Amino acid sequence: MRKEEKMFDSVIIGAGVAGSVAARELAESGRSVLVLEQRDHIGGNCYDEPDEHGILIHKYGPHIFHTKEKKAYDYLSRFTDWYAFGHEVVANVYGKLIPVPFNLNTLHMVYEKEKADTLEKKLIETFGMGSRVPILKLREQEDPEIRQIADYVYENIFLHYTMKQWGQTPEEIDPAVTGRVPVVISYDNRYFQEPWQGMPLHGYTPMFEKMLDHPKIRVETGVDARSRIRFEEDQVILDGEPFCGEVIYTGPVDELFNCCFGRLPYRSLRFDFEYLDQKDYQGHSVVNYTVSEDFTRITEFKYLTGQKAPGTTIVREYPFAYTGAEGEIPYYSIANEANQALYEKYRALTEKIPNVWLLGRLAEYKYYNIDAMVMKALELTEKIKQEV
Ligand code: FAD
Ligand code: UDP
């Protein structure tokens, strides 16, 4: 083993949001931090880069920062300025583009005026202006007219998209998932209603580069941590030597233990990028295909990043069940009782090792957004700093 590695106080596995924020926080508390990242770049799934035509793309799917947590916004603002905008999404329903989440504007696009006016009045009376009603809750309503709207939204926005994304119906998946895109009783067409939303002005990758640029942080990319770290009973062995500093792991927890209880299920995605030698493809940043096609959505990056260019790049997302095969990436944990029980078995193995912490969308097997990840990383590092 190289001598210098013994000098690290903390090791962080994964350089996504979770790992990068944690690394910065521990470094600023005076610790020397080693970050091991298996990909050849930092940023995790938020990574962006110019494609061969110079269009800034998000390699692992479109990422829009949005939060109501000022603390998360302020934290990232230390490392980036913002291109702020209110993100809007439309659904392609049999060729007609309608705003999603379904809202009062959408209502007026799908029903003729008199009917839409009556339904609008009823929705406002029942739920209140500004309320957000998950589709599964809307479907529980007994009023026949509200049921009619619920059925429309269910059939035309949720059912087919959810079948593609999860391989299951909206009833079969965790209600919190469809609850992310509720019916909104207002004229707000934005996909997210939180006060801070947009893109890091120069992209995510420069933001993470800045975050990890600290004299006490060393980042090694192209390194699978499992080639450097193993566990022996309640001890961490780093490069063959016992390591007593903090180890924060942000990868899939089953893989730490060779999937000894079986693989944790995830949904994965195939991203098909296409460059088009034309100024505009779809006139919107994201179009969800909610009643047709095998892909779930098409993103046109220029509309997300504000980039001006003569050509344009789009990406189609094709979901499939993650198998763990070489090259596949686990993107979405699948929340249900059986999977949570399996996750807990793996977590229990890490609990025996007092200096190992699980952090992140994969390691915690949770559907976290970027802002929630920032908050969790700040919370965990605060706890670690207070303990020692
Ligand atoms: P990751 O970004 O997955 O980082 C984990 C890192 O650990 C990876 O780089 C991985 O290579 C590395 N790693 C794993 N195992 C090892 C190992 N053994 N050795 C070394 N390194 C290892 N959130 C939003 O807020 N807005 C959005 O618009 C949004 N869009 C999304 C779209 C898609 C398609 C997906 C999948 C997610 C989206 N998210 C979005 C969620 C966002 O990606 C996550 O909140 C965030 O990336 C989680 O960060 P993380 O650090 O936990 O995980
Ligand atoms: N969803 C849907 N139709 C849509 C948008 C969302 O059915 O047009 C459902 C689908 O089940 C999806 C979930 O709502 O997985 C959450 O959507 P979100 O856009 O938050 O998913 P993400 O961007 O995280 O993939």
**Pick from 245, 236, 243, 240: which is nearest to 1 by CA?**
240
Using a 6 Å CB cutoff, which residues line ligand 2? 91, 100, 157-158, 161-162, 165, 177-178, 180-181, 288, 290
Residue 57's DSSP bridge partners are: 49
CA atoms 219, 220, 225, 229: torsion sign: negative
Start-to-end CA distance of the chain, whole Å, equals: 27
* Per-residue pLDDT tens digits of the chain, which is 388 residues long: 444 445 899 999 999 999 999 999 999 999 999 999 999 999 999 999 999 999 999 999 999 999 999 999 999 999 999 999 999 999 999 999 999 999 999 999 999 999 999 999 999 999 999 999 999 999 999 999 999 999 999 999 999 999 999 999 999 999 999 999 999 999 999 999 999 999 999 999 999 999 999 999 999 999 999 999 999 889 999 999 999 999 999 999 999 999 999 999 999 999 999 999 999 999 999 999 999 999 999 999 999 999 999 999 999 999 999 999 999 999 999 999 999 999 999 999 999 999 999 999 999 999 999 999 999 999 999 999 998 6
Q: Is 362 in the pocket of ligand 1 (CB under 6 A)?
A: yes
Distance of CA 374 from the midpoint of ligand 1 (Å): 12
Residue 242's DSSP bridge partners are: 237
- For residues 312 and 304, the answer to whether their CB atoms sit within 8 Å is no
Which atom, in ligand 2's list, is nearest to the CA of 89?
8
Tell me the C-alpha distance between 203 and 214, whole Å.
Answer: 19
Q: Residue 33 belongs to what H/E stretch?
A: strand 33-37
What are the C-alpha distances in Å from 297 to residues 74, 148, 266, 282, 291? 31, 26, 19, 12, 11
Would you list the DSSP string of 139-187? TT---HHHHHHHHHHIIIIIHHHHHHHHSS-TTTS-HHHHTTS-EESSS
